[in-house]
Structure 1
Amino acid sequence: MNEVRPFAVIALASSFAGVAPSLAIAADPNGWCLPSDACMGEQKPIAGNSWNECESSCEISAPVKVRGMNASLYDVECKGDWGSSVYRAMFVFTSNSNGGHDLLMVSNNDLVKLEQCSDARN
């Protein structure tokens, strides 16, 4: 199953190239929230290029704008008592049916639709 995911990520990212809104800057997830999960129980705001997970904190760095898309590829490093992990994630702006924008985070292991933060924590 892991062998299929990279192909699915490429196909998914390619399909949004024609519908994403026109932005002058690379996709910046600061001010958006990752959805709540069973461990955290609340939204996880991204601020200052970082967010907190259940037993770790994650930081994004080295953004690269994806040519022809309203997307940026970031290095992600998560650290906790368990050690650390490093991976790449692409943040992609897409148009939604309400005339606004959605922001997706795509990695080898996940596809997450970010949310507008419900309060002023970020």
Structure 2
Amino acid sequence: MYTMTWAKYLPVIKILLKKSLSADQSLAMNSIDFQKGNVAKKTGYSFSFDTIGGRIRNSTKNNVPAKDLAETLLQDSTVKELLSREDFHLSMDSKFNLSIKCLPKEVEVSTEMAEASGQ
């Protein structure tokens, strides 16, 4: 339902995903693009999900705009490659502001480092 809407915003979202590596990003979108279909009225347009290791975490199945965004992102080869290298948190609020945040990678402490520090 919202695949065409997300495809329209995809070039900007790609740029914001890359920029989010250094600072959180936000995109104010046109509410008309989402309200045309009125499918999400019951579930709302707000959503939040994470991408971890190139996969979508947090269920998007009950939120049509989130599900369509996830599918659009995973269908683009450039975005898919970026999502496989970095983890992100994407959310949209009720005012149609999309927020993109790069999640920090968990640092694995090797046994050698732990022994060297006396732990």
Q: TM-score with structure 2 length normalisation?
A: 0.25
Which protein is richer in strand relative to its size? 1
The structure whose residues are more often helix, as a share, is 2
Greater RCO structure (CA 8 Å; 6+ sep): 2
Larger Rg: 2
The alignment's TM-score, normalised by the length of structure 1, stands at 0.25
